[in-house]
Structure 1
Amino acid sequence: MDAPTAIMLVLLVVLIFFIFRNRRKRQNEQAELQTKMVPGVELMLTFGIYGTLVSIDDAENVAEVEIAPGTIIKVHRQTLGRIVEPVVAEVPATETGIVGSSSDQPRYSLNKDTAITSNEPSFGERVDPNTDGTPSTGTDKS
């Protein structure tokens, strides 16, 4: 057996190994997801709708999901995408224990206009050459 053939066989074996490994991994993830799919769990459907699982019919492959209080939709079981875990945001603690008391944190005013302004004319706006270069309003006729 020559070297290129041996390299190709080794690459084929490695490829087959990764294919089987990924398939087994996906099967384990699907099995874990199916054990967590019980009525009352918050979930997201594969097309982006969030709701609460009401019931699953294994024989019909149908699930009922409550997307709003009193609004229940019937979907195929394969559209149950993932379980939504509650997100707990960590609050950074400062030395004093009070958030936002540090002087190194910038303070922003919500009512203050912080937009970057420019005196350059917008696209299609005319500039009066007799002034300081600010855009003209178009009301004065010369």
Structure 2
Amino acid sequence: MPFDPTFLILIVALAAMLFFTTNRSRKQQKAAAEFRENLRPGVEVMTQSGMVGVVVGVDDARQIIRLESSDGHVTDWVMAAVKEIPAQFATPVPEDSDDTDEARDSEDKDSGSTIEPGVIDVPDDLSGLDTAQQEYRDQQKRKDDDTDGK
């Protein structure tokens, strides 16, 4: 039985593919473990489920991290569920500009609002949704009435 070189090429290609995929995943696991080892309070992180928060406590013995969300709620997470926050989700660092800070502070005091500027206020319930839908329906009726008369 003659030797078939295509079988050898197939085996070498399969071994190379296996090596590169395991090597890449090993590097990713090493980087994630290194990131988790260096976690300290004040670091902004993201959980695997997508929650962004700031580390307020680390329990290395239990492998638990305590995170504070932007609304002030503190929750405990398993260390393996926390990863480095991608750049697009990180909180932007404000530029140090004295002129804009003073102007913004005076505007905030005059507005009387308890919501910080740039923060979108999302209601806890859907009660405002019915009003918005009703306004939309009324607007559509007015448009229909205008086009019927023409």
**TM-score bracket, shorter-length normalisation:** 0.5 to 0.7
User: Which runs of at least 4 in structure 1 moved beyond 3 Å after TM superposition?
Assistant: 83-89
1:70-129 deviation digits (Å, cap 9, x = unpaired): 42112222221224666579xxxxxxxxxxxxxxxxxxxxxxxxxxxxxxxxxxx99xxx
Equivalent residue, structure 1, for 2:26:
24
Equivalent residue, structure 1, for 2:57:
55
The offset of 1:60, in angstroms, is 2.2
Q: Structure 2 length as normaliser, TM-score?
A: 0.51
Equivalent residue, structure 2, for 1:104:
none
1:14-44 deviation digits (Å, cap 9, x = unpaired): 1222133213311331233123311111112
Alignment of 1:33-44 (within 5 A): 33-44=35-46
Q: Structure 1 length as normaliser, TM-score?
A: 0.54
Can you give the 5+ residue segments of structure 2 that lack an aligned partner in the other structure?
Answer: 95-142
Tell me if the contact between 1:45 and 1:80 (Cα under 8 Å) persists in the aligned partners: yes
Give 1:138's aligned amino acid.
D
Equivalent residue, structure 2, for 1:45:
47
In 2, distance between residues paired with 1:46 and 1:70? 20
Q: In angstroms, what is the RMSD of aligned CA positions?
A: 2.9
Tell me if the contact between 2:32 and 2:83 (Cα under 8 Å) persists in the aligned partners: no
Can you give the 5+ residue segments of structure 1 that lack an aligned partner in the other structure?
Answer: 90-124, 127-135
**More displaced stretch, 31-40 vs 48-57:** 31-40
The offset of 1:64, in angstroms, is 0.8
The offset of 1:5, in angstroms, is 1.1
Q: What percent of counterpart residues are identical?
A: 28
SS at match of 2:28: helix
In 2, distance between residues paired with 1:5 and 1:35? 45
Give 1:61's aligned amino acid.
Q
Tell me if the contact between 1:41 and 1:83 (Cα under 8 Å) persists in the aligned partners: no
In 2, distance between residues paired with 1:35 and 1:62? 12
Cα distance change, pair 41–31 in 1 and its aligned pair in 2 (3 A): same
The offset of 1:138, in angstroms, is 0.4
